[in-house]
Amino acid sequence: IYVLGIETSCDETAASVIKNGTEIISNVVASQIESHKRFGGVVPEIASRHHVEQITLVIEEALQQVDMAPAELSAVAVTEGPGLVGALLIGVNAAKAFAFAHQLPIIGVHHIAGHIYANRLAQEMEFPLLALVISGGHTELVYMKEHGHFEVIGETRDDAAGEAYDKVARTLNLPYPGGPHIDRLAHESINPVDFPRVWLEEGTYDFSFSGLKSSVLNFMHNSAQRGEQVKPEDVAAGFQNSVVEVVTSKTLRAAEQFKVRQVIAAGGVAANKGLRASLEREFAEKGVPFFIPPLKLCTDNAAMIAAAGTVMFEKGIRGNMAMNGRPGMEMDSWI
Ligand code: ATP
Ligand code: FE
Ligand code: MG
């Protein structure tokens, strides 16, 4: 089974062909980061315009690399939501046009299911499974009994972790996206600032990062007022320590309570070195298999959409020409 994946939910225009849901044949990603950098975040209008310019080229490139005729494909899988509405529409319409022209079935994929299925491109998934989805727009713990079953057992009540990273980075005058810069700085600190850990009420798997973000902002503000010099690496490390401790602890507890056979991490913040090290160490100690896909597959790409789309295809799920972008799409199970 060969599936063409298309992803345009945010600021990456991506297309990929994968074989049997596990093997990447081509994986093309056109990033717009440079265009959004000076605004310190993704500007929806600019994103849409870039997607329009890039989408045909990116799809052609993905097909050229595999040297395959469209008729050899089994299906087209596209991110249906959630994401920026104008950005999603471009991918969905490109997918519909391609599917119509080549008489292929079209499959609408949930972006976060895609992030989770990025793992299947690196190793087989074992169920029951716990996925930590930690990205620019999401921070969720998802329990899966089997392929296509999703149960969100915890989620952020305010900012996503990546969002908090990007905002804290901004107050430290670091370039966008700030996550990797904070990560790098955090490793240079010898005296991290002590910021609060936000656990919320006992037993919950939900997260909250806006209070932590405010603490960092207040700390910067107060230090400036007092004329104190702040070491950015100490702020970065203090912030990262708080995120890593809370996320690691909740993920461990969920894995134990739900007695899962595998824990996987997904999303851009899963690229964080501090978080990876902490999760790897703790799960190794507990003897629970823990995986993170290679960095390239952690951030937005179309191979992960094709991977999730292939499983949906095998389950007989098909979209149709009425498909539209769904910016607020919920994560429903496929079965
Ligand atoms: P979503 O998938 O929820 O719609 P998104 O597509 O914006 O959101 P991703 O592309 O998966 O998210 O990840 C981007 C985020 O990951 C940014 O917030 C970025 O700062 C963060 N990030 C990337 N690398 C790191 C890192 N090493 N440490 C912390 N955060 C990181
Ligand atoms: Fe994403
Ligand atoms: Mg992105």
Nearest one of 262, 163, 155, 134 to 205, comparing CA atoms:
155
The rounded Å distance from CA 143 to ligand 1 centre is: 21
Stretch among 41-55, 96-110, 278-292 having the lowest mean pLDDT: 41-55
Task: Read off the amino acid at residue 19.
Answer: K
Residue 327 is encoded by which pair of tokens? 């910016």
What pTM did the predictor assign? 0.93
Query: In which band, very low, low, confident or very high, does the pLDDT at 35 lie, cut at 50, 70 and 90?
Result: confident
Ligand that comes closest to the CA of residue 177: 1
Q: What is the pLDDT of residue 140?
A: 97
Both structure tokens of 52: 């329009």
| 291 bridge partner residues | 264
CA quadruple 120, 326, 48, 210: dihedral, nearest 10: -80
Q: pLDDT (tens digit, 9 = 90+) per residue, 297-312?
A: 999 999 999 999 999 9
Residues 120-153: tens digit of each pLDDT: 999 999 999 999 999 999 999 999 999 999 999 9
Counting ligands in written order, which one lies closest to the CA of residue 81?
1
User: Given CA atoms 237, 242, 246, 252 in this order, what sign does their dihedral have?
Assistant: positive
Q: Please report, rounded to a whole number, the percentage of residues in the chain having pLDDT higher than 90.
A: 90
Mean pLDDT taken over the chain: 95
Structure confidence at residue 135 (pLDDT)? 94
Cα 36 to chain centroid, rounded: 18
d(CA 277, CA 189): 17
Does residue 300 line the site of ligand 1, with CB under 6 A? yes
Residue 267 Cβ < 6 Å to ligand 1: yes
> Secondary structure of the chain: what % helix, strand, coil (to 5)?
45, 20, 35
- Residue nearest atom 11 in ligand 1 by C-alpha distance: 268
In order, the DSSP letters of 19-64 are ETTTEEEEEEEEE-HHHHHTTTS--HHHHHHHHHHHHHHHHHHHHH
pLDDT tens string 57-86: 999 999 999 988 899 999 999 999 999 999
Alpha-carbon gap, residue 208 to 158, rounded angstroms = 6
Radius of gyration of the chain (CA): 20
Cα separation, 287 vs 290, whole angstroms: 9
pLDDT tens figures, 152-182? 999 999 999 999 999 999 999 999 889 999 9
Count of residues making up the chain: 335
Q: Are 29 and 67 in contact (CB under 8 A)?
A: no
pLDDT value for 115: 95
Cα of 33 from ligand 3 centre, angstroms: 9
Distances (CA, A) of 178 to 136, 161, 182, 223, 294: 11, 12, 6, 21, 20
Backbone angles phi, psi at 34, to 5 degrees: -60, -40
How many C-alpha atoms does 64 have within 13 Å on its Cβ side?
Answer: 7
pLDDT of residue 17: 98
What's the CA-to-centroid distance between 129 and ligand 2, angstroms? Answer: 20
Burial of 40 (0-12, 13-18, 19+ CB in 10 A): middle
Residues 218 and 197: their CA atoms lie apart, in Å, by 16
Q: Which amino acid is at 233?
A: E
- pLDDT tens-digit map of 246-256: 999 999 999 99
- With a cut of 90, say whether residue 185 has pLDDT above it: yes
Q: Identify the weakest region by mean pLDDT among 40-49, 62-71, 225-234, 277-286.
A: 40-49
- The CA distance from 132 to 250, in Å, is 10
Atom of ligand 1 nearest to the CA of 10: 6
Residues 193-220, mean pLDDT to the nearest whole number: 97
- Predicted confidence at residue 335, as pLDDT, reads 64
